[in-house]
Each structure stands twice: as structure tokens, then as C-alpha cells.
């Protein structure tokens, strides 16, 4: 299903019959095309053009636009691609158009050749305006209009763009176990597979091209959806869901789009988790964008960029066996085997944690997350969701959540969401809990009562025994037991702190779910 104004009827923008065309100067001016590391043509460009042309740019402007529009009520989920292509070895230009349903190749039209960049750019800008009702020159202030396409802002990452503070030609050594772990969390193929399997379209908005503005816009729409859920306003939910899927493209196949309206808190939570992962990936691309050279040097450079020291824990040590016992005794419904344990020392965390280091009730607790997120977590630390992110599933307010049951935290690894189904990564963090506010049911906490440092949500199943280390840290290593007198309420204990300084990462635990 295509927009009737699309260039699918053989018309060239500017010809008779084109209804809305932006005004452009008639006098041809000199256009200087900048040559940097070339932006590649769209994957569906015919081979004879793809390998002989590149996308042009002027200064920092890349003449490449991905447009989308999703309308739930009309059951349309469409895209439109526009690129200006220049011959690699000649002054010949073409305007490439591709349009169709998200998830399908669609239809293609090449307009040209043009003898000048000016003519091709004029063509590009006219099409952009016709599709979006926005001027290309003012795209940074883009406004979405009904029945028009939305422009997806891209980051174009190059090897020759602004050097990172740490050159990637770093010579250094680290053990093969850390290197193998780094290759896991830096694996873009894994990230693509995991996001694809939860519906995200990595073709329309490639992970390496994600921008902060896209993430921010997605959160804004989800915030509006959170405010409407439960108000029985189906029409508005369909409209807002369409806006979300326009910003974050999804592949729906032949299914009716009304099945995908974000109309429950569970669906909202799922989309929030997706956008959170996309945010972590956006940060990861910034870390990795300039890393080039021999593989071992690149991997070491990526490791240094984490500013997080990792040291393998040997399986023969008491330390390893204590953590293994903790996992085994609190994994009642999960079969897993430890692959690696690393001690973690995150730059700056010890200094921030100092004021809590002698507080009573410091516990070693689990925190799980999707594989796609770990490069971001280890480089930035655990962070409380910003205020712009709607709360859905955060039953006790905006904080950092931990568990004393492996079963609870491992569910956040989303091990069935694609990519390497068998691998999971969890943190064991030292969490300064102090005096806890104990709750038996959900309660959105905005401010803790005086004297309280954290919240403990009381679960029905919990470890039966605790071990205290020499430094005073408490580890719940006993076997899990269920309070049979409680038939309602929370399944597992949850611990929530509302200050990031109360947490320091102590161990990374990599597990294999097929290992037993």
C-alpha cells in the first residue's frame, strides 16, 4: 500500500502532475561535494549502480533519507528511501527512490543521470518535501504531519570522524578469557539478531545509525501511551502506537496492525525494554566507531574504553565456589552453568561508594540484563532511568532493582529473545541497603521515610541462610524456601535503592543455559 503521491507512476518531481513541490532557487549554483569515507548506497540499489556509485554529501550533510509512516487504523506500515548517488569516477548523479511495506524490498526508481550535483540535490529536496511537508534544510526542526512520512535521523559513523580520546591503535595485552568476553558483548551480529527477534527492523534504522534524538522521541511517545492506558481511549492508543512504530520501525509481516496496539502495561513494558536496549546500543556504537586495526589491538582498545577492570576468578577458589553455591541454591526454575566469573572494578565507583562502605546491611545481590546492554552498562555503570522514561513495571518507583534469587534476575536476560539463546550475563553488586522500608505490595516510592535507605519488597520465596564475608558484606547463599502461608503477593524479594552511589559492581557472572 503506497502513498498516491509516491514516485511510483513514472513521474519525476518537478514534472507536470506533481502537486506539492518546495520552492528552490532556479539559478544553478556551484555545489562542492565532500569526499570522506563513502556512505554506501542502499542495499537494494541495482548491482551495476551500487558498486560504481556512492552517496554524496556536502560538509556534514549526507543526502540520504529514510522516511517511515505507520497508521494502525489504515493497516499501513510504509517506508520511503531517498539517496543522491554520484558515480565514483565521473561527474554523473542519480536520485534513488525505494518505497514499500516495512520488512519488504518494495519498489525502486532511479532518476537520472544528472550532469550536476545541484540538479540531483534539487530533485532530492523536492521529494523530501513532498513526502514529509518539511524542508530538508530545516530537518533538524522536523515536524510530523498527518498522512505524511516522518524522517528518521541517522548517525553516520566513520573511521575518519572525530578521534576518540583513546586511540584504537592501542597496544596492550589482556588474558584470552577477558578477550573472549569482550568479543561477546561487542558482537554487533548478536545485537542485530536479538533486536530483530523482538520485532525491530534493523534494515530501516540500522543499529549503528541510531541517534539520541530517535531514542528520546520514542520515550516521549511511550510516556504519552503510559498516560492513556486504562482510559478506554482506543482511537488515541492506535494513533500513538502508530507514532511509536513510525519512530522505531517494526516488521509486522502480513498481520493486522491492530494486534500490535500498545494497549496494556505488559506491552508498554516490552517496548520500554526495547528502547532501553536501543539506547545502550547507541552508546556502544559511539565507543566502537573508530576502532580499526589488528583484531587484538581493537579488542584491547574496546576494553580500555570501558574504564572497567575485569579479572577472571578461578574455579578452584572459595570465591568462585561461594558464588556458584549462591546461584545454584537460588535457581529453582533455571538450569544454568557458570562459564566465567570476573571481578569488576569500575573507575570512580569506589570513591562514590565510600560514604556507604561502612553502612550496615550491605548485601551482594543479582542484577540481570539483555546481552545487548552490557557494553553500555559496563562503560557507564548502572543508572537510574531518567525522568523522561515512563515507569512501567517499576512497581516501587524510579530506582535500581536487585534480587537475592538468581531466578528473579535471570528473567531479565531475555535468553529466548534471539541471538545466542544459551548465554546470559548477570552482575553481582554490593548494595548498601541500610535500614529498609519493607513492603508486601507495589507502592510507587518518590521519597523514602526519614532514616530509611532502601526498599525491600517481601517475596514468598527467599534464601534460607546468609553468609557474612570478612568485609561485612552479606551473601544469601542458603537454599530457597517458600512461605506456604502466603498465597498472594510478590514471588521473590526485590531490593530497591534510589541513589546510584549505593551500588558498586563486584562480579560479572556469565552463564550457559544449555550447560546442564
Residues 36, 133 within the same domain = yes
Q: Would residue 164 count as lying in a domain?
A: no
> What cell does 358 get?
561502612
CATH number of the domain encompassing residue 189: 1.20.142.10
Identify the residue whose cell numbers are 515507569.
391
Q: For residues 356 and 502, is the Cβ–Cβ distance under 8 A?
A: yes
Regarding whether 101 and 55 lie in a shared domain, the answer is yes
For residue 314, indicate whether it is catalytic. Answer: no
Are both 200 and 260 inside the same structural domain?
yes
Last residue within a domain, chosen from 277, 299, 321:
299
User: Are the beta carbons of 478 and 322 closer than 8 angstroms?
Assistant: no
pLDDT in tens, the chain (516 residues): 333 333 333 333 333 333 333 333 334 444 444 445 567 788 889 988 888 899 998 888 999 999 999 999 889 899 999 999 999 888 899 999 999 998 888 999 999 899 899 999 999 999 999 999 999 999 989 999 988 999 998 877 544 443 333 344 444 557 889 999 998 988 877 877 777 777 777 777 777 777 888 888 999 999 999 888 878 788 999 999 999 999 988 888 778 888 899 999 889 988 998 888 888 888 777 776 655 555 556 778 888 888 999 999 999 999 999 999 999 999 888 888 999 999 999 999 999 999 999 888 999 999 999 888 898 899 999 999 888 777 766 678 889 999 999 999 998 887 654 445 688 999 999 999 999 999 988 787 888 999 999 999 999 898 999 999 999 999 999 998 988 877 677 889 999 999 999 999 999 999 998 744
β-pair type (57-58, 308-312): unpaired
Residue 463 is predicted with a pLDDT of 92
Please indicate, yes or no, whether the overall pTM of this predicted structure exceeds 0.85: no
Nearest to 413 by CA among 423, 405, 404, 403: 423
Are 313 and 293 in the same domain? no
Q: Could you tell me which residues are beta bridge partners of residue 494?
A: 457
Domain containing residue 240: 176-299
Question: What CATH number does residue 334 fall under?
Answer: 3.90.228.10
Write down the residue that cell numbers 581493537 correspond to: 298
Strand 436-439, strand 454-457: pairing: parallel
Catalytic member of 15, 276, 494, 500: 494
Q: Write down the pLDDT at residue 449.
A: 92
**Cα distance between residue 169 and residue 297, in whole Å:** 6
Query: Which positions ≥6 away from 294 have C-beta within 8 Å?
Result: none
What number of CA atoms fall less than 13 Å from residue 119's CA on the CB side? 12
What Rg, from alpha-carbon coordinates, does the chain have?
A: 26
Same domain for 311 and 396? Answer: yes
The answer to whether the beta carbons of residues 507 and 323 sit under 8 Å apart is yes
Q: What is the pLDDT of residue 48?
A: 87
User: Which of 432, 430, 454, 429 lies closest to 356, judged by CA?
Assistant: 432
Burial (CB < 10 A; 0-12, 13-18, 19+), residue 355, is exposed
Do residues 340 and 290 share a domain?
no
CA-nearest of 84, 88, 80 to 121 is 84
* Total structural domains within the chain: 3
Q: Which residues pair with 481 in a beta bridge?
A: 462
- Whether 489 and 395 map to the same domain: the answer is yes
465 and 363: one domain? yes
pLDDT at 421: 61
Q: Supply the pLDDT for residue 37.
A: 53
**Residue 377 and residue 279: Cα distance in Å, rounded?**
11
Last residue of a domain, one of 299, 323, 352: 299
Of 114, 229, 209, nearest in space to 201 by CA: 209
Helix (H) or strand (E) holding 97: strand 93-101
Determine the pLDDT at residue 445. Answer: 83
Verify that 261 and 356 share a domain, yes or no. no
pLDDT for 9 equals 33
Amino acid at each position: 500500500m503506497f502513498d498516491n503521491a509516491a514516485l511510483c507512476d513514472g513521474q519525476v518531481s518537478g514534472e507536470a502532475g506533481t502537486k506539492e513541490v518546495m520552492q528552490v532557487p532556479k539559478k544553478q549554483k556551484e555545489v562542492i561535494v565532500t569526499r570522506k569515507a563513502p556512505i554506501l548506497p542502499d542495499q537494494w540499489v541495482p548491482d551495476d549502480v551500487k558498486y560504481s556509485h556512492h552517496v554524496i554529501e556536502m560538509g556534514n550533510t549526507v543526502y540520504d533519507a529514510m522516511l517511515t509512516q505507520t497508521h494502525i487504523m489504515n493497516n499501513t506500515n510504509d517506508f520511503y528511501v531517498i539517496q543522491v548517488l554520484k558515480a565514483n569516477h565521473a561527474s554523473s548523479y542519480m536520485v534513488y527512490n525505494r518505497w514499500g511495506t516495512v520488512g519488504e524490498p518494495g519498489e525502486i526508481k532511479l532518476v537520472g543521470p544528472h550532469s550536476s550535483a545541484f540538479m540531483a540535490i534539487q530533485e532530492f529536496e523536492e521529494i523530501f518535501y513532498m513526502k514529509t511537508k518539511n524542508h530538508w534544510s530545516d530537518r533538524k526542526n522536523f515536524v510530523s504531519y498527518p498522512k505524511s512520512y516522518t524522517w528518521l535521523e541517522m548517525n553516520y559513523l566513520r573511521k575518519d570522524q572525530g578521534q576518540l580520546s583513546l586511540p584504537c591503535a592501542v597496544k596492550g595485552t589482556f588474558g584470552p578469557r577477558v578477550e573472549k568476553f569482550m568479543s561477546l558483548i561487542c558482537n554487533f551480529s548478536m545485537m542485530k539478531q536479538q533486536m530483530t527477534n523482538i520485532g525491530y527492523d534493523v534494515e530501516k534504522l540500522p543499529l549503528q545509525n541510531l541517534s539520541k534524538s530517535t531514542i528520546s522521541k520514542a520515550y516521549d511517545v511511550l510516556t504519552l501511551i503510559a498516560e492513556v492506558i486504562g482510559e478506554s481511549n482506543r482511537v488515541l492508543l492506535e494513533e500513538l502506537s502508530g507514532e511509536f512504530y513510525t519512530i522505531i520501525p517494526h516488521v509486522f509481516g502480513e498481520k493486522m496492525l491492530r494486534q500490535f496496539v500498545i494497549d496494556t502495561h505488559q506491552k508498554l513494558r516490552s517496548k520500554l525494554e526495547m528502547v532501553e536496549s536501543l539506547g545502550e546500543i547507541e552508546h556502544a556504537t559511539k565507543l566502537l566507531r573508530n576502532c580499526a586495526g589488528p583484531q587484538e589491538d581493537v579488542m584491547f582498545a574496546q576494553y580500555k574504553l570501558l574504564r572497567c577492570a575485569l579479572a577472571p576468578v578461578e574455579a578452584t577458589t572459595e570465591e568462585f565456589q561461594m558464588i556458584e553455591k549462591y546461584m545454584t541454591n537460588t535457581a529453582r526454575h533455571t538450569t544454568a552453568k557458570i562459564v566465567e566469573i570476573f571481578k569488576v572494578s569500575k573507575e570512580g565507583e569506589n570513591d562514590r561508594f565510600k560514604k556507604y562502605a561502612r553502612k550496615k546491611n550491605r548485601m551482594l545481590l543479582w542484577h540481570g540484563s539483555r546481552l545487548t546492554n552490557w557494553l553500555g552498562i559496563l562503560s557507564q555503570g548502572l543508572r537510574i532511568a531518567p525522568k523522561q522514561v515512563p515507569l512501567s513495571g517499576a512497581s516501587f518507583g524510579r530506582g535500581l532493582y536487585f534480587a537475592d534469587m538468581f531466578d528473579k534476575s535471570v528473567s531479565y536476560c531475555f535468553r529466548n529473545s534471539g541471538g545466542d539463546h544459551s548465554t546470559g550475563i548477570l552482575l553481582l553488586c554490593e548494595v548498601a541497603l541500610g535500614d529498609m522500608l519493607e513492603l508486601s505490595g507495589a507502592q510507587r516510592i518518590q521519597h523514602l521515610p526519614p532514616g530509611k535507605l532502601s526498599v525491600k519488597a517481601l517475596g514468598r520465596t527467599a534464601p534460607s541462610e546468609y553468609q557474612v564475608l570478612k568485609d561485612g558484606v552479606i551473601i544469601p547463599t542458603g537454599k530457597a524456601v517458600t512461605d506456604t502461608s502466603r498465597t498472594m503477593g510478590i514471588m521473590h524479594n526485590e531490593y530497591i535503592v534510589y541513589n546510584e552511589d549505593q551500588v558498586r559492581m563486584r562480579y560479572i557472572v556469565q552463564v550457559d543455559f544449555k550447560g546442564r
